[in-house]
């Protein structure tokens, strides 16, 4: 059993890493197939951290290919799994994707607030889940935004409890729907 579990971990990790590489070269069909494989490998296992990672990467790939409903389902699942672990920082990458999805659909204020929360949390503690907020994501989403709005987003984020925000988002979103506005408004 230990040997087969090791292969699941290696195979899932390899599929996820390859999905990123294929996304980087714009081979999104292959990236999607690889994330499907990674999710399939770890589904139903007790490898919660690997399930969270595979789910989050799949969500990012789904966003890239324009399947926002698929991305939203993975945001919800990633946050649900992270909450179940009792380690809210595992959900930061899902929150980053949630913020990006909100911005993509025009909810810039809410999306920036969520991204600012991710930045704020990352600055407060170790980034033990990898590159939670690629600086390019923040720069890309704030390039044309009024600096006062960015400042308000950051001030709001600094006063938020991560677990409470995640709980509100989970209560307001469903795994089969697009992102909804959160009550976590700061503007």
* H-type alpha helices, 25-87: 28-42, 48-64, 68-85
Residues 86 and 151 grouped into a single domain: yes
**Confidence bin at 26 (pLDDT 50/70/90):** confident
**Domain termination residue (choose one: 66, 88, 111):** 66
Q: How far apart are CA 139 and CA 85, in angstroms?
A: 31
Residues 89 and 56 grouped into a single domain: no
Can you give the residue range of the structural domain that contains 47?
A: 1-66
Residue with the larger pLDDT of the pair 5 and 51 = 51
Angle (CA) 32 127 142, round 5°: 70
**pTM for this model (two decimals):** 0.80
Residues 83 and 167 grouped into a single domain: yes
Q: How many domains in the chain? A: 2
Residues 98 and 186 grouped into a single domain: yes
Residues 51 and 86 grouped into a single domain: no
Residues 25 and 81 grouped into a single domain: no
Output the six-digit token pair for 182: 């959160």
Among candidates 35, 187, 162, which has minimal Cα distance to 111? 187
Residues 94 and 8 grouped into a single domain: no
**Domain termination residue (choose one: 14, 49, 66):** 66
Residues 95 and 49 grouped into a single domain: no
Please tell me the chain's helix, strand, coil percentages from 3-state DSSP, rounded to the nearest 5.
Answer: 75, 0, 25
Question: In this predicted model, what pLDDT tens digit does every residue of 83-142 receive, in sequence order?
Answer: 888 877 778 889 999 999 999 998 888 899 999 888 877 666 554 444 455 667 778 888
Q: How far apart are CA 24 and CA 178, in angstroms?
A: 25
Phi, psi of 69 (to 5 degrees): -65, -40
**Domain termination residue (choose one: 66, 92, 120):** 66
Lowest mean pLDDT among 39-48, 70-79, 117-126: 117-126
Q: How far apart are CA 57 and CA 156, in angstroms?
A: 27
How high is the mean pLDDT of the chain? 79
Quick check: 72 and 173 in contact, CB under 8 A?
yes
**Confidence bin at 8 (pLDDT 50/70/90):** low
Q: Which residues contact 154 (CB under 8 A, 6 or more apart)?
A: 116, 119, 120
Residues 104 and 45 grouped into a single domain: no
Residues 45 and 78 grouped into a single domain: no
């Amino acid at each position: 059993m230990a040997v087969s579990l090791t292969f699941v971990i290696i195979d899932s990790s390899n599929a996820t890493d390859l999905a990123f590489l294929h996304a980087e070269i714009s081979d999104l069909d292959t990236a999607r197939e690889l994330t499907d494989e990674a999710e399939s490998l770890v589904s139903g296992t007790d490898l919660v951290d690997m399930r969270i990672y595979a789910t989050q990467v799949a969500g990012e790939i789904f966003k890239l290919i324009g399947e926002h409903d698929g991305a939203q389902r993975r945001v919800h699942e990633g946050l649900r799994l992270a909450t179940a672990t009792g380690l809210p920082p595992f959900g930061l990458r899902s929150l980053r994707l949630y913020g990006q999805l909100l911005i993509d659909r025009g909810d810039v204020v809410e999306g920036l607030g969520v991204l600012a929360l991710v930045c704020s949390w990352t600055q407060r503690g170790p980034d033990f889940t990898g590159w939670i907020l690629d600086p390019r994501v923040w720069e890309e989403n704030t390039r044309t935004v009024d600096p006062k709005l960015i400042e308000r987003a950051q001030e709001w984020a600094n006063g938020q409890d991560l677990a409470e925000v995640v709980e509100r988002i989970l209560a307001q979103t469903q795994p089969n729907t697009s992102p909804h506005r959160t009550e976590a408004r700061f503007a």
